[in-house]
Structure 1
Amino acid sequence: MFKRAAAEMLGLSDIGSVIRREDYDKVDADDYVMHEDNERIYFLIKSKMDEYCFTNHALIHLDGTTALSKKRVLARYPYAYYPVREVLMETAGTVDLDVEIKFKLGEHPFSIDVHKKFITEIKDLYKSLLKIAEITHENNVKLTQAQQSQELASSVLGQTNKLDANLLEQFNGIRQSAFEWMTESHKQYKRKDFGAVFERYINN
Protein backbone atom coordinates (compact mmCIF):
# COMPACT_ATOMS: atom_id res chain seq x y z
CA MET A 1 0.00 0.00 0.00
CA PHE A 2 2.85 2.35 0.85
CA LYS A 3 4.54 1.84 -2.51
CA ARG A 4 1.29 2.33 -4.41
CA ALA A 5 0.80 5.65 -2.63
CA ALA A 6 4.40 6.68 -3.27
CA ALA A 7 3.49 8.07 -6.71
CA GLU A 8 1.61 10.86 -5.00
CA MET A 9 4.52 11.51 -2.65
CA LEU A 10 6.93 11.68 -5.60
CA GLY A 11 4.66 14.10 -7.46
CA LEU A 12 4.05 11.81 -10.43
CA SER A 13 1.66 12.32 -13.34
CA ASP A 14 0.96 10.51 -16.60
CA ILE A 15 4.29 11.89 -17.83
CA GLY A 16 7.15 9.86 -16.42
CA SER A 17 9.65 11.04 -13.85
CA VAL A 18 13.17 9.77 -13.31
CA ILE A 19 13.38 8.37 -9.80
CA ARG A 20 16.42 9.11 -7.70
CA ARG A 21 18.47 6.24 -6.36
CA GLU A 22 17.56 6.99 -2.77
CA ASP A 23 13.88 6.54 -3.67
CA TYR A 24 14.16 3.15 -5.38
CA ASP A 25 12.74 1.48 -2.29
CA LYS A 26 9.51 3.48 -2.73
CA VAL A 27 8.60 1.82 -6.05
CA ASP A 28 7.08 -1.60 -6.72
CA ALA A 29 9.70 -2.66 -9.28
CA ASP A 30 12.35 -2.89 -6.58
CA ASP A 31 10.50 -5.92 -5.16
CA TYR A 32 11.13 -7.85 -8.40
CA VAL A 33 14.83 -7.14 -8.80
CA MET A 34 16.90 -10.29 -8.27
CA HIS A 35 19.20 -8.80 -5.65
CA GLU A 36 20.20 -12.35 -4.69
CA ASP A 37 21.87 -12.71 -8.12
CA ASN A 38 23.71 -9.36 -7.94
CA GLU A 39 21.08 -7.59 -10.00
CA ARG A 40 20.78 -3.88 -9.28
CA ILE A 41 18.77 -0.92 -10.54
CA TYR A 42 20.61 1.64 -12.67
CA PHE A 43 17.73 3.74 -14.02
CA LEU A 44 14.05 3.98 -13.15
CA ILE A 45 11.21 5.88 -14.79
CA LYS A 46 7.83 6.04 -13.08
CA SER A 47 4.47 7.59 -13.94
CA LYS A 48 1.09 6.98 -12.36
CA MET A 49 0.51 4.14 -14.82
CA ASP A 50 3.89 2.50 -15.38
CA GLU A 51 7.30 1.74 -14.00
CA TYR A 52 10.29 1.12 -16.25
CA CYS A 53 13.13 -0.33 -14.24
CA PHE A 54 16.47 -0.74 -16.04
CA THR A 55 18.80 -3.13 -14.24
CA ASN A 56 22.16 -4.53 -15.29
CA HIS A 57 20.35 -7.70 -16.46
CA ALA A 58 16.93 -6.69 -17.78
CA LEU A 59 14.14 -4.18 -18.17
CA ILE A 60 11.39 -4.76 -15.62
CA HIS A 61 8.11 -3.20 -16.75
CA LEU A 62 5.21 -2.79 -14.35
CA ASP A 63 2.07 -1.80 -16.22
CA GLY A 64 -1.05 -0.58 -14.41
CA THR A 65 -4.10 1.58 -15.00
CA THR A 66 -3.43 3.97 -12.09
CA ALA A 67 -0.93 4.31 -9.30
CA LEU A 68 -3.56 3.08 -6.81
CA SER A 69 -4.74 0.10 -8.90
CA LYS A 70 -4.35 -3.26 -7.23
CA LYS A 71 -3.82 -5.05 -10.54
CA ARG A 72 -0.41 -4.70 -12.15
CA VAL A 73 1.07 -6.57 -15.11
CA LEU A 74 4.72 -7.46 -14.62
CA ALA A 75 6.98 -8.22 -17.57
CA ARG A 76 10.70 -8.93 -17.53
CA TYR A 77 12.91 -8.56 -20.61
CA PRO A 78 16.50 -9.86 -20.15
CA TYR A 79 18.86 -8.08 -22.55
CA ALA A 80 20.51 -11.41 -23.44
CA TYR A 81 17.25 -12.76 -24.91
CA TYR A 82 15.54 -9.51 -25.96
CA PRO A 83 18.26 -7.52 -27.76
CA VAL A 84 18.05 -3.74 -27.55
CA ARG A 85 17.33 -2.27 -31.01
CA GLU A 86 16.20 0.88 -32.79
CA VAL A 87 16.97 3.34 -30.00
CA LEU A 88 15.52 6.80 -30.68
CA MET A 89 15.07 9.96 -28.67
CA GLU A 90 12.70 12.84 -29.35
CA THR A 91 13.63 16.08 -27.62
CA ALA A 92 11.01 18.54 -26.42
CA GLY A 93 9.71 21.36 -28.62
CA THR A 94 9.02 24.86 -27.38
CA VAL A 95 5.60 24.05 -25.94
CA ASP A 96 6.16 20.36 -25.16
CA LEU A 97 6.28 19.20 -21.57
CA ASP A 98 7.97 15.90 -22.29
CA VAL A 99 10.78 14.16 -24.11
CA GLU A 100 10.37 10.67 -25.50
CA ILE A 101 12.70 7.71 -25.64
CA LYS A 102 11.87 4.82 -27.96
CA PHE A 103 13.46 1.42 -28.41
CA LYS A 104 12.72 -2.23 -29.03
CA LEU A 105 13.59 -5.21 -26.86
CA GLY A 106 13.47 -8.07 -29.33
CA GLU A 107 10.19 -7.45 -31.13
CA HIS A 108 8.61 -5.54 -28.23
CA PRO A 109 8.41 -1.76 -28.87
CA PHE A 110 8.60 0.78 -26.05
CA SER A 111 7.83 4.48 -26.14
CA ILE A 112 8.29 6.32 -22.83
CA ASP A 113 7.28 9.94 -22.24
CA VAL A 114 9.36 11.69 -19.58
CA HIS A 115 9.10 15.23 -18.25
CA LYS A 116 11.55 17.47 -20.07
CA LYS A 117 13.20 18.59 -16.82
CA PHE A 118 14.84 15.15 -16.86
CA ILE A 119 16.39 15.67 -20.32
CA THR A 120 19.95 15.26 -18.99
CA GLU A 121 19.13 11.94 -17.34
CA ILE A 122 17.30 10.67 -20.43
CA LYS A 123 20.33 11.51 -22.57
CA ASP A 124 22.38 9.26 -20.28
CA LEU A 125 19.86 6.44 -20.66
CA TYR A 126 19.81 6.97 -24.43
CA LYS A 127 23.59 6.58 -24.63
CA SER A 128 23.49 3.49 -22.42
CA LEU A 129 20.86 1.77 -24.57
CA LEU A 130 22.72 2.69 -27.76
CA LYS A 131 25.91 1.12 -26.40
CA ILE A 132 24.10 -2.04 -25.25
CA ALA A 133 22.54 -2.34 -28.72
CA GLU A 134 25.96 -1.94 -30.34
CA ILE A 135 27.64 -4.52 -28.10
CA THR A 136 24.79 -7.01 -28.57
CA HIS A 137 24.87 -6.64 -32.36
CA GLU A 138 28.64 -7.10 -32.55
CA ASN A 139 28.51 -10.13 -30.24
CA ASN A 140 25.74 -11.73 -32.31
CA VAL A 141 27.87 -11.30 -35.45
CA LYS A 142 30.84 -12.93 -33.71
CA LEU A 143 28.69 -15.78 -32.39
CA THR A 144 27.29 -16.43 -35.87
CA GLN A 145 30.83 -16.49 -37.28
CA ALA A 146 31.90 -18.94 -34.57
CA GLN A 147 28.95 -21.21 -35.38
CA GLN A 148 29.74 -21.10 -39.09
CA SER A 149 33.39 -21.94 -38.43
CA GLN A 150 32.40 -24.90 -36.27
CA GLU A 151 29.95 -26.17 -38.91
CA LEU A 152 32.60 -25.87 -41.65
CA ALA A 153 35.18 -27.72 -39.56
CA SER A 154 32.70 -30.49 -38.77
CA SER A 155 31.78 -30.80 -42.44
CA VAL A 156 35.41 -31.10 -43.53
CA LEU A 157 36.22 -33.62 -40.82
CA GLY A 158 33.07 -35.55 -41.68
CA GLN A 159 34.19 -35.91 -45.29
CA THR A 160 37.64 -37.02 -44.17
CA ASN A 161 36.13 -39.57 -41.82
CA LYS A 162 34.23 -41.17 -44.69
CA LEU A 163 37.50 -41.77 -46.52
CA ASP A 164 39.47 -43.20 -43.63
CA ALA A 165 37.75 -45.10 -40.81
CA ASN A 166 40.91 -44.86 -38.69
CA LEU A 167 40.18 -41.18 -38.15
CA LEU A 168 36.96 -41.87 -36.23
CA GLU A 169 38.48 -41.54 -32.78
CA GLN A 170 40.36 -38.40 -33.75
CA PHE A 171 37.23 -36.93 -35.31
CA ASN A 172 35.18 -37.57 -32.17
CA GLY A 173 37.83 -35.88 -30.05
CA ILE A 174 37.89 -32.85 -32.31
CA ARG A 175 34.09 -32.72 -32.36
CA GLN A 176 34.03 -32.68 -28.55
CA SER A 177 36.60 -29.88 -28.54
CA ALA A 178 34.48 -27.96 -31.04
CA PHE A 179 31.42 -28.39 -28.83
CA GLU A 180 33.31 -27.07 -25.81
CA TRP A 181 34.62 -24.18 -27.89
CA MET A 182 31.11 -23.27 -29.01
CA THR A 183 29.89 -23.43 -25.42
CA GLU A 184 32.59 -20.98 -24.39
CA SER A 185 31.81 -18.78 -27.39
CA HIS A 186 28.16 -18.68 -26.36
CA LYS A 187 29.13 -17.64 -22.83
CA GLN A 188 31.46 -14.97 -24.21
CA TYR A 189 29.15 -13.47 -26.81
CA LYS A 190 25.75 -13.88 -25.11
CA ARG A 191 26.40 -11.15 -22.57
CA LYS A 192 23.92 -10.99 -19.68
CA ASP A 193 25.33 -8.27 -17.41
CA PHE A 194 25.59 -4.70 -18.72
CA GLY A 195 26.30 -3.00 -15.40
CA ALA A 196 29.60 -1.61 -16.70
CA VAL A 197 27.78 0.17 -19.55
CA PHE A 198 25.28 1.82 -17.22
CA GLU A 199 28.04 2.82 -14.81
CA ARG A 200 29.96 4.47 -17.66
CA TYR A 201 27.12 6.60 -19.01
CA ILE A 202 24.71 7.20 -16.14
CA ASN A 203 25.68 9.83 -13.61
CA ASN A 204 23.58 9.36 -10.49
Structure 2
Amino acid sequence: MRYPLFTAFLLCIAALTVQFSDAVWFPVFVAFENNGQSVYDSWRTPSMCNDLPAILKITGRGKHLRNHVIDHWTEMNINMVKVELYQKNEQVVWMTFNARNTNNLNWFSKTNLYQSSFTDLSTRSITNYFSAAGESIPNVVSRRFYISRQHRGCPNDFGWLCIAEKPDVCKWAQFSKYPVFIYTKQGRSWNRDAATADTLVISVSMDL
Protein backbone atom coordinates (compact mmCIF):
# COMPACT_ATOMS: atom_id res chain seq x y z
CA MET A 1 0.00 0.00 0.00
CA ARG A 2 1.31 3.45 -0.89
CA TYR A 3 0.68 6.39 1.41
CA PRO A 4 0.08 9.99 0.27
CA LEU A 5 2.80 11.13 2.65
CA PHE A 6 5.24 8.70 1.09
CA THR A 7 4.42 9.88 -2.45
CA ALA A 8 4.75 13.53 -1.45
CA PHE A 9 8.04 12.75 0.25
CA LEU A 10 9.50 11.25 -2.92
CA LEU A 11 8.41 14.23 -4.99
CA CYS A 12 9.66 16.80 -2.50
CA ILE A 13 13.16 15.43 -2.21
CA ALA A 14 13.75 14.37 -5.79
CA ALA A 15 16.23 17.23 -6.08
CA LEU A 16 18.14 15.88 -3.10
CA THR A 17 18.39 12.26 -4.20
CA VAL A 18 21.94 10.92 -4.20
CA GLN A 19 23.08 7.70 -5.87
CA PHE A 20 25.59 5.83 -3.68
CA SER A 21 26.69 2.29 -4.54
CA ASP A 22 23.39 0.46 -5.19
CA ALA A 23 21.32 2.65 -2.86
CA VAL A 24 19.35 5.79 -3.62
CA TRP A 25 19.53 8.09 -0.60
CA PHE A 26 16.77 10.48 0.49
CA PRO A 27 17.81 13.05 3.14
CA VAL A 28 15.28 13.20 5.98
CA PHE A 29 17.13 15.23 8.62
CA VAL A 30 19.70 18.03 8.59
CA ALA A 31 21.08 19.44 11.85
CA PHE A 32 23.34 22.43 12.44
CA GLU A 33 25.94 23.19 15.07
CA ASN A 34 25.62 25.91 17.72
CA ASN A 35 21.92 26.76 17.29
CA GLY A 36 21.00 25.79 20.86
CA GLN A 37 18.58 23.09 19.75
CA SER A 38 18.80 19.45 20.83
CA VAL A 39 19.48 17.15 17.89
CA TYR A 40 18.07 14.13 19.70
CA ASP A 41 14.82 15.86 20.68
CA SER A 42 14.50 17.41 17.22
CA TRP A 43 14.86 14.02 15.57
CA ARG A 44 11.95 12.75 17.70
CA THR A 45 9.76 15.88 17.69
CA PRO A 46 8.28 17.40 14.47
CA SER A 47 7.30 20.73 16.07
CA MET A 48 10.90 21.54 16.95
CA CYS A 49 12.07 21.64 13.31
CA ASN A 50 11.49 23.36 10.03
CA ASP A 51 10.36 21.17 7.15
CA LEU A 52 13.15 19.82 4.99
CA PRO A 53 12.85 21.77 1.70
CA ALA A 54 12.87 20.21 -1.75
CA ILE A 55 15.96 22.16 -2.76
CA LEU A 56 18.35 22.45 0.12
CA LYS A 57 19.37 26.10 0.01
CA ILE A 58 20.07 26.91 3.62
CA THR A 59 19.22 30.51 4.44
CA GLY A 60 19.23 30.13 8.21
CA ARG A 61 20.31 27.59 10.79
CA GLY A 62 18.00 28.59 13.62
CA LYS A 63 16.21 25.24 13.48
CA HIS A 64 17.16 21.80 12.28
CA LEU A 65 15.39 20.48 9.17
CA ARG A 66 13.21 17.39 9.30
CA ASN A 67 10.94 15.29 7.10
CA HIS A 68 7.85 13.62 8.58
CA VAL A 69 8.89 10.28 7.09
CA ILE A 70 10.77 9.88 10.38
CA ASP A 71 7.39 9.60 12.13
CA HIS A 72 6.23 6.84 9.77
CA TRP A 73 9.43 4.81 9.88
CA THR A 74 7.90 1.36 10.07
CA GLU A 75 5.46 2.10 7.22
CA MET A 76 8.07 3.26 4.73
CA ASN A 77 10.02 0.08 3.98
CA ILE A 78 13.30 1.73 5.00
CA ASN A 79 16.19 -0.67 4.49
CA MET A 80 19.31 1.49 5.03
CA VAL A 81 20.26 4.68 6.86
CA LYS A 82 23.27 6.89 6.23
CA VAL A 83 24.76 9.34 8.74
CA GLU A 84 27.15 12.01 7.48
CA LEU A 85 29.09 14.84 9.07
CA TYR A 86 30.25 17.82 7.04
CA GLN A 87 32.67 20.62 7.77
CA LYS A 88 32.46 23.56 5.36
CA ASN A 89 30.62 21.37 2.82
CA GLU A 90 33.28 18.65 2.95
CA GLN A 91 32.26 15.20 4.16
CA VAL A 92 34.42 14.21 7.14
CA VAL A 93 32.50 11.19 8.52
CA TRP A 94 30.01 8.72 7.05
CA MET A 95 28.30 5.61 8.37
CA THR A 96 25.63 3.30 6.97
CA PHE A 97 23.25 1.08 8.92
CA ASN A 98 20.92 -1.79 8.14
CA ALA A 99 17.44 -0.55 8.99
CA ARG A 100 15.13 -3.46 8.27
CA ASN A 101 12.87 -4.29 11.23
CA THR A 102 13.96 -1.19 13.14
CA ASN A 103 12.21 1.91 14.47
CA ASN A 104 13.35 5.51 14.14
CA LEU A 105 15.72 5.23 17.12
CA ASN A 106 17.11 1.71 17.41
CA TRP A 107 18.56 1.60 13.87
CA PHE A 108 21.53 3.52 15.29
CA SER A 109 23.32 0.61 16.96
CA LYS A 110 26.45 -1.49 16.68
CA THR A 111 24.38 -4.49 15.65
CA ASN A 112 22.99 -2.60 12.64
CA LEU A 113 26.27 -0.99 11.55
CA TYR A 114 27.04 -1.85 7.93
CA GLN A 115 29.96 0.33 6.77
CA SER A 116 31.80 3.36 8.08
CA SER A 117 34.60 5.79 7.37
CA PHE A 118 35.96 4.76 10.79
CA THR A 119 38.19 1.89 9.68
CA ASP A 120 38.48 0.48 13.21
CA LEU A 121 34.76 0.43 13.96
CA SER A 122 32.69 -2.68 13.29
CA THR A 123 30.01 -4.86 14.84
CA ARG A 124 32.81 -6.59 16.75
CA SER A 125 34.29 -3.42 18.26
CA ILE A 126 34.30 -2.97 22.02
CA THR A 127 31.94 -0.15 22.97
CA ASN A 128 30.30 1.05 26.16
CA TYR A 129 27.82 3.30 24.32
CA PHE A 130 26.43 3.01 20.81
CA SER A 131 22.96 4.52 20.58
CA ALA A 132 20.99 7.62 19.61
CA ALA A 133 20.00 8.22 23.24
CA GLY A 134 23.65 7.93 24.22
CA GLU A 135 24.63 9.05 27.70
CA SER A 136 22.38 11.63 29.34
CA ILE A 137 22.66 12.59 33.02
CA PRO A 138 21.00 15.88 34.08
CA ASN A 139 23.53 18.63 34.82
CA VAL A 140 26.41 16.24 34.09
CA VAL A 141 26.46 15.09 30.44
CA SER A 142 24.22 15.07 27.36
CA ARG A 143 25.97 13.04 24.65
CA ARG A 144 23.66 11.91 21.86
CA PHE A 145 24.24 9.66 18.85
CA TYR A 146 27.14 8.57 20.96
CA ILE A 147 29.68 5.91 20.01
CA SER A 148 32.11 5.49 22.88
CA ARG A 149 34.80 2.88 23.49
CA GLN A 150 35.58 3.50 27.15
CA HIS A 151 35.18 5.86 30.11
CA ARG A 152 38.14 5.83 32.49
CA GLY A 153 38.01 9.38 33.79
CA CYS A 154 37.75 12.34 31.42
CA PRO A 155 41.43 12.32 30.31
CA ASN A 156 41.10 8.65 29.33
CA ASP A 157 37.77 8.72 27.48
CA PHE A 158 37.95 7.16 24.03
CA GLY A 159 35.42 6.88 21.21
CA TRP A 160 34.34 7.72 17.69
CA LEU A 161 31.29 9.99 17.54
CA CYS A 162 29.42 12.29 19.92
CA ILE A 163 26.83 15.03 19.63
CA ALA A 164 27.39 17.17 22.70
CA GLU A 165 24.17 19.00 23.51
CA LYS A 166 24.82 20.71 26.86
CA PRO A 167 27.73 21.73 29.11
CA ASP A 168 29.66 18.63 30.09
CA VAL A 169 31.64 17.45 33.09
CA CYS A 170 34.59 16.66 30.79
CA LYS A 171 36.69 19.35 29.15
CA TRP A 172 36.66 17.55 25.81
CA ALA A 173 32.92 18.24 25.50
CA GLN A 174 32.89 21.77 26.92
CA PHE A 175 32.02 24.50 24.40
CA SER A 176 30.50 27.97 24.45
CA LYS A 177 27.55 26.94 22.25
CA TYR A 178 25.73 23.69 21.53
CA PRO A 179 25.07 21.30 19.87
CA VAL A 180 28.55 20.31 18.75
CA PHE A 181 29.29 17.40 16.42
CA ILE A 182 32.49 15.74 17.64
CA TYR A 183 34.39 12.92 15.98
CA THR A 184 37.88 11.48 16.39
CA LYS A 185 40.57 11.27 13.73
CA GLN A 186 43.17 8.49 13.61
CA GLY A 187 43.52 7.85 17.36
CA ARG A 188 40.33 7.64 19.41
CA SER A 189 41.13 9.93 22.33
CA TRP A 190 38.50 12.64 22.79
CA ASN A 191 41.22 14.81 24.32
CA ARG A 192 43.94 14.42 21.68
CA ASP A 193 42.31 13.33 18.43
CA ALA A 194 38.93 15.10 18.32
CA ALA A 195 37.64 17.43 15.61
CA THR A 196 34.25 19.03 15.02
CA ALA A 197 31.85 19.29 12.11
CA ASP A 198 29.24 21.94 11.38
CA THR A 199 26.43 19.89 9.79
CA LEU A 200 24.82 16.49 10.31
CA VAL A 201 22.81 14.83 7.53
CA ILE A 202 20.76 11.64 7.99
CA SER A 203 19.43 9.96 4.84
CA VAL A 204 17.42 6.83 4.17
CA SER A 205 17.15 4.28 1.40
CA MET A 206 13.90 2.38 0.98
CA ASP A 207 12.11 -0.15 -1.16
CA LEU A 208 10.07 1.77 -3.72
Q: TM-score, normalised by structure 1?
A: 0.23
Rg larger in structure: 1
Q: Which has the higher contact order (CA 8 A, sep 6+)?
A: 2
Q: Which structure has the highest helix share of the two?
A: 1
Q: Which structure has the highest strand share of the two?
A: 2
